Structure 1
Amino acid sequence: MELAVRAAAPSCSSSPSLHPPRVPCRLGRSPGLPLPARRVALAAAAFALDPFQEIKTELNDASKTEVFACPVCYEPLIRTGPPGMNLPAIYRSGFKCSKCNKSFTSKDVFLDLTVTSGMKEYSELKPARTELFRSPLVSFLYERGWRQNFNRSGFPGRDEEFQMAQDYFQSVAGGILVDVSCGSGLFSRKFASSGAYSAVIALDFSENMLRQCYDYIKQEETPMNTNLALVRADISRLPFASCSIDAIHAGAAIHCWPSPSNAIAEISRVLKPGGVFVATTFLSTPTNSGPLSIDALRPLRQIVGPVNSSYNFFTEGELEDLCRSCGLINYSSKVQRSFIMFSGQKP
């Protein structure tokens, strides 16, 4: 156990907040106690002397779904409050990084794990295609007509897309799934209700999308103790420990991301070995990309992109190259007109 190791190991720091006071030598050297018993005694004494050990022990004994990490330094967050990944437990909990001392709360209906969380003076704007979805109006309309229009481009619809994704995720059933750029939780809620995962994290940068997701959860009478958490985070700075997530889903999202390469590199970082990434998007066509859909003109995006606020659309070859360059293997895809669902796996 971490507690026993820390109590027995010598400390290089004098900070009382990070290390317990020294235990009297006679406790660890008592000739009447065998080595295992001496370690237990050391651990018990350290626990009694260090109030922070209560938190650490709770983390050790908590559900394996405790995967949140600091978006600044990626160190695991210390959690105070009830364990669990459901909405009431997250809402009543506080989170703090033991390394950089940054605190995170869920004072709203979601847990804000962005780098800018808690800042009072500094504000940061994303590209227009990202900021659009932070609008209350767009968040309200997303499931009330906006998403349904994707059918014109070949998207098969919510139920079929969900089942297609589930087929890709069969090998990681029972694990933790993160629905990145979840929007109003169109698929997050279905993943959570399916019971196929130990926990589902609905993650988006838009505060209003997460609020809409919460409203839908209440309207659908989804039990509040369902293993579903709402988290605000940046796709290029995922607040999870490396190799901690089993499955990641990104529905109709990659064309909105400021830097798809940074995002997929982050996805690759947090996936466990064998973990699966599944995403859908629009393939580049003359309709949505104009002349830039022609292979010979694709390099011009480097010139046009910085002054163009429209979405980024890719060819299938580009998507496969992107996944492979970020360390994902076993790439596969399904295409229907300009709709594509593609998948990669962490080796």
Structure 2
Amino acid sequence: MYDALLPDLRCPTCAGALDLGDARRDAAGEIISGALRCACGAVYPIRDGIADFLGPPRPPTIAQLTNELPATAWAYERLWRPFALTLLSGESFPYQRELALVTEWIEATRGGLMVDVACSNGLYARALAQAIRHVPGHVVGIDHARPMLREARQRARAAGVRVSYLRASAQSLPVASSAASGVTIGGSLNEIGDLDACLREVRRILARDGRFVTMTLLKGQSAVGRTVQHIVSAGGIAFWSPEELLRRFRAAGLYPQRDEQYGIVLFTLACPSSPS
């Protein structure tokens, strides 16, 4: 993680400000090790450049347990993610198309703090960091799985972009209220667990003019699709209709401004204020 993130970090236990101690930085200025301390007594270690707000892994579902495996982290962006949207949408959907949509909708060139929640290998985080290179801002990627975060950090460093990485819960984000100009979640809403708590946290950390962009998988329409989704739902992966998903956005105070559907893939832009 980097010093640019420190003013916007908060203790997930009491929401207090955090002080950095025992910090060791590398030649590029990344904080490699240290500890974040709160006046409430909580201490969060930084190891290998990743701040840990969770402690020992306790994945509640098979899907989240799978993401804790180093093999999953290695394979995710190498073997699955490059082809996923093409397979799920039924049309050509390469990275260039997806990332252009996400960075445009979130208006990344505004800069500020951009938060990639449930970031996995950091695909969206890297795209956001590239987009804000020439404006003041910083990107943070958050995930519960340390192997995913290790892979994400390595990929960000290889790409030459600055992204801070935190191990934290999507339902308890260690970010100050109203601090984020943009929040993204790329596909992970389906396995996030408590969807409503996650959406409330997104609303809490978004600035009044902030923008929230998600890519979500919807309920299948075919018999085969519904059968497959029924099977994987036992592992903790949920699917919704567009109407149900957008209703839950609104209940959390996130008002959909725009959406586009490709097969079972739904992109949504939501903001903390209703459209005029």
TM class by shorter chain equals 0.7 to 0.9
Question: Structure 1 pair 108/82, CA: closer, same or farther in 2 (3 Å)?
Answer: closer
Counterpart residue number, 1:271? 206
C-alpha RMSD over aligned residues: 2.7
Structure having the larger proportion of residues in helix = 1
Q: Which among 150, 153, 166 is matched to residue 214 of structure 1?
A: 153
Q: Which among 23, 27, 48 is matched to residue 108 of structure 1?
A: 48
Counterpart residue number, 1:131? 65
Structure 1 gaps of 5+ residues are 1-61, 294-303
Matches within 5 A, 1:75-114: 75-80=16-21, 88-98=29-39, 100-114=40-54
Deviation at 1:310, TM superposition (A): 4.6
In structure 1, C-alpha distance between the alignment counterparts of 2:49 and 2:23, rounded to whole Å: 16
Counterpart residue number, 1:343? 269
Q: Which among 136, 144, 150 is matched to residue 205 of structure 1?
A: 144
Question: Structure 1 pair 138/87, CA: closer, same or farther in 2 (3 Å)?
Answer: farther
In structure 2, C-alpha distance between the alignment counterparts of 1:105 and 1:87, rounded to whole Å: 20
Deviation at 1:172, TM superposition (A): 7.1
1:66 is paired with a residue whose SS is helix
Deviation at 1:254, TM superposition (A): 0.5
Q: Does 1:178 align with 2:97?
A: no
Q: Does 1:193 align with 2:119?
A: no
Structure having the larger proportion of residues in strand = 2
Q: Which among 133, 149, 152 is matched to residue 83 of structure 2?
A: 149
- Spell out, residue by residue over 1:146-203, the C-alpha distance to the aligned partner (whole angstroms, 9 max, x if none): 1123111117222211111122122871111011111111221121122256000011
In structure 2, C-alpha distance between the alignment counterparts of 1:81 and 1:176, rounded to whole Å: 25
Counterpart residue number, 1:316? 242
Counterpart residue number, 1:168? 105
Deviation at 1:125, TM superposition (A): 2.9
Q: Tell which deviates more after alignment, 202-211 or 124-133.
A: 124-133
Give the partner amino acid of 1:148.
P
| Mapped contact 1:91–1:111 kept (Cα < 8 A) | no
Deviation at 1:218, TM superposition (A): 3.9
Deviation at 1:83, TM superposition (A): 11
Deviation at 1:245, TM superposition (A): 1.2
Q: Does 1:329 align with 2:255?
A: yes
Structure 2 gaps of 5+ residues are none
Question: Structure 1 pair 147/87, CA: closer, same or farther in 2 (3 Å)?
Answer: farther
Give the partner amino acid of 2:46.
S
Deviation at 1:219, TM superposition (A): 3.5
- Spell out, residue by residue over 1:113-160, the C-alpha distance to the aligned partner (whole angstroms, 9 max, x if none): 22xx3x6xxx62321111111111111000111112311111722221
Q: TM-score, normalised by structure 2?
A: 0.85
Question: Structure 1 pair 203/112, CA: closer, same or farther in 2 (3 Å)?
Answer: same
- Spell out, residue by residue over 1:74-117, the C-alpha distance to the aligned partner (whole angstroms, 9 max, x if none): 11212346799x9744325431111x211112123311122xx3
Q: Max radius of gyration: which structure?
A: 1
- Spell out, residue by residue over 1:52-71, the C-alpha distance to the aligned partner (whole angstroms, 9 max, x if none): xxxxxxxxxx8586211111
Give the partner amino acid of 1:160.
R
Q: TM-score, normalised by structure 1?
A: 0.69
| Mapped contact 1:172–1:246 kept (Cα < 8 A) | no
In structure 1, C-alpha distance between the alignment counterparts of 2:43 and 2:214, rounded to whole Å: 31
| Mapped contact 1:112–1:231 kept (Cα < 8 A) | yes
- Spell out, residue by residue over 1:243-290, the C-alpha distance to the aligned partner (whole angstroms, 9 max, x if none): 111110001110011111111111111111111111001111144433
Deviation at 1:216, TM superposition (A): 1.9
Counterpart residue number, 2:15? 74
1:341 is paired with a residue whose SS is strand
**How many pairs align?**
262
